[in-house]
Amino acid sequence: MVRVGKVIDKGIDAERVARRALEGGRAVERSEDFSDLGRNADRVGHLGKSEIMPYRELQKISLPKGMERHKLIEWREAKYLGFKSRGDVPAVALWHGDHNMITQMLKHELPYGSKYWEPSVQAQYRGIYAKVYGEGSEWFNAISRYFP
């Protein structure tokens, strides 16, 4: 349940965050074929419509049941891109199903156990996140500056 009117540091209103996150609802069912979703990321739930903020700030907000926090750059990669803590990574609120689907899409593109510190792997990040979030999407634009 959202704490109506709760204001977090920097003027972030929990009710507004939750309302924006809920606006898109569940536009797409879970799919094993991620190729179309990667090209049209705005169809994934409310992708690109949720308030973007540091994960630390999003943790201070009570989300409605069924919603989760999603770091726009996976921590396994972000720590090699200069982020000092998980709390600094840009994040959004997502429905559980959307969060799971996006995590699976990212895992498919860059499997767990990859050598995230290697320049050849880091060079792939821009293309991977553009494919998953949609190049030009609000989410991709928020994180693209961190990629080599």
For residues 51 and 128, give the distance between their C-alpha atoms in angstroms, rounded to a whole number. 22
Q: Is residue 133 part of a domain?
A: yes
Q: Is residue 52 part of a domain?
A: yes
> Bridge-partner residues for 71, per DSSP?
91
> Bridge-partner residues for 92, per DSSP?
70
Task: State pTM to two decimals.
Answer: 0.67
Closest-CA residue to 86 (of 58, 110, 64): 58
For the chain, what is the domain count?
Answer: 1
Q: Is residue 92 part of a domain?
A: yes
Could you read off the pLDDT tens digit of each residue along the chain, which spans 148 residues? 333 233 333 344 444 444 454 444 333 333 333 344 333 334 334 444 568 999 999 999 888 889 999 999 999 889 989 999 999 999 999 999 999 999 999 999 888 888 878 888 888 899 999 999 998 899 999 999 999 8
Q: Is residue 35 part of a domain?
A: yes
Q: Is residue 2 part of a domain?
A: no
Count of CB atoms situated within 10 Å of the CB of 69: 15
Q: Is residue 148 part of a domain?
A: no
Q: Is residue 16 part of a domain?
A: yes
For residue 38, the enclosing domain spans: 7-143
Under 8 Å between Cβ of 21 and 51 = yes
Q: Is residue 104 part of a domain?
A: yes
